[in-house]
Structure 1
């Protein structure tokens, strides 16, 4: 069997030999054999483990990638696969959010200024006004507020809710997304993104960036899965 030094493993990834030793110490690589003089003797199995861990980080993040690799090295394969599944579920949820944002961008773009503000919303609206405008109950509008979808200010003299043009736009977008059966938690996320972006062009640019990042993460997950499979195969040899 050909043995490898820490420096041999480190060279492939452009890291220090000490980083390799730290990975072993932290349970990210299987324990290495030692020579009589105490030097580590790594094998191709360790090299496969290091490749897998380094690929897991961009795919799942440092914390989750580390948890996956430690579980694999410790022989807790089901725990590792459950962590992988959680990341895939998270990415799927993100894609659902992006689809909802895409629907909102299309709707906002129909307005001349790209803001999504409908005419006639310059004055403050009451919760009853908003409910009537949308054809829903006051209780529904309040439920959206409780879920974080809407955040109207309060009239300091009466304590009543006062919806401005942006609040009415958010309510209309929420109503639109609810008709598409999107959950309130997702809608709240989308509305926060709309508020942060300000208008359709800015939101569209942000959306394109989010999609690129999700695509890159999905591809990284494929690479990590392949290298993790290589490591698991090396354990059997």
Structure 2
């Protein structure tokens, strides 16, 4: 049986031995044997487990990766595979959303979205439902100065115009690829001034990032399949 020291695996995967121990403490890998002198040593199974974790982390969020690894450790292989499959569905939905809103940006006559006829002004709840976000997110974006609302003279409630809804849709689509508030403000200013070339470039970047994430997810799945095969031997 081939064995490895923590330093050997850490060097190969370009991580610290502390990181390996943390994965062990988080219950992500099989039980680690020790030598007679009480030193850790890893087998090929552990090596593949660590390789799988590092590969999955490039394409998936940390909580998902950790849950997948715990499922594998408990021999719940199908559940782990369904979980990563669900995440791939989410990225597909995200891609469709970005493409839909890019089409919306290119459509000068923006009076309907997803077959919903838009009113001249919408409440925050209506805007949130159309955009598929929480009202708290809209309040946060308004607080950051990305969008603005008008107040209903009768009840004082926030009301959002169609142009503001368009901004909400843009923010909701690009928030994972446009990381800085000032960059987002500049992008929304391009939308206001109808500088659509720059706006479209941001959407194309978002689509490229999703393509890259998909590739990383598939590479992670390839390592996951290897790991499951190891476990089932």
Quick one: structure 1 residues 191 and 107, their matched pair in 2 at CA, closer, same or farther if it must change by over 3 Å? Answer: farther
Give runs of aligned pairs for residues 124-139 of structure 1, distance below 5 A. Answer: none
**If the length of structure 1 is used for normalisation, what is the TM-score?**
0.69
1:222 is matched with 218
Task: Give 3-state SS (helix, strand or coil) of 1:60's partner.
Answer: coil
Going from structure 1 to structure 2, the CA distance change for 1:45 and 1:215 (only over 3 Å counts) comes to same
Within a 5 Å distance, the mapping from 1:75-114 to structure 2 comes to 75-108=75-108
- Residue equivalent to 1:146: 126
Cα distance in 1, alignment partners of residues 81 and 162 from structure 2: 44
**Residue in 1 that maps onto 2:135:** none
Deviation at 1:27, TM superposition (A): 1.6
1:183-222 pair list within 5 angstroms? 189-190=169-170, 197-198=187-188, 199=191, 200-222=196-218
- Higher Cα Rg, which structure: 1
Q: Deviations over 1:146-203 (max 9, x none)?
A: 24249852254x5589989xx24467x7xxxxxxxxxxxxx96447559963212332
- Structure 1 segments, 4+ long, off by >3 Å, are 140-145, 149-152, 158-164, 168-171, 187-197
Contact 2:55 2:223 in 1 (8 A): yes
Question: Cα RMSD (Å) of the superposition?
Answer: 3.6
1:228 CA drift (Å): 0.7
Residues 193/20 of structure 1: CA separation in 2 closer, same or farther (3 Å cut): closer
Equivalenced residues, count: 197
* Structure 1 position 81, deviation (Å): 2.0
| Cα distance change, pair 168–230 in 1 and its aligned pair in 2 (3 A) | closer
Structure 1, gaps ≥5 residues long: 109-115, 118-129, 174-186
> How far, CA to CA, are the matches of 1:213 and 1:48 in structure 2?
27
Structure 1 residues 161, 202: closer, same or farther in 2, change over 3 A? Answer: farther
| Partner secondary structure for residue 4 of structure 2 | coil
Tell me, in whole angstroms, the C-alpha distance in 1 between the residues paired with 2:45 and 2:158.
Answer: 64
* C-alpha distance in 1 between matches for 2:157 and 2:16: 59
Does the 8 Å contact 1:97/1:190 carry over to 2?
A: no
Match of 1:40 in 2: 40
**CA 1:218–1:34 in 2, change beyond 3 Å: closer, same or farther?**
same
Question: 1:29-68, aligned counterparts within 5 Å?
Answer: 29-68=29-68
Are 1:74 and 2:71 counterparts?
no
Query: Structure 2-normalised TM-score?
Result: 0.70
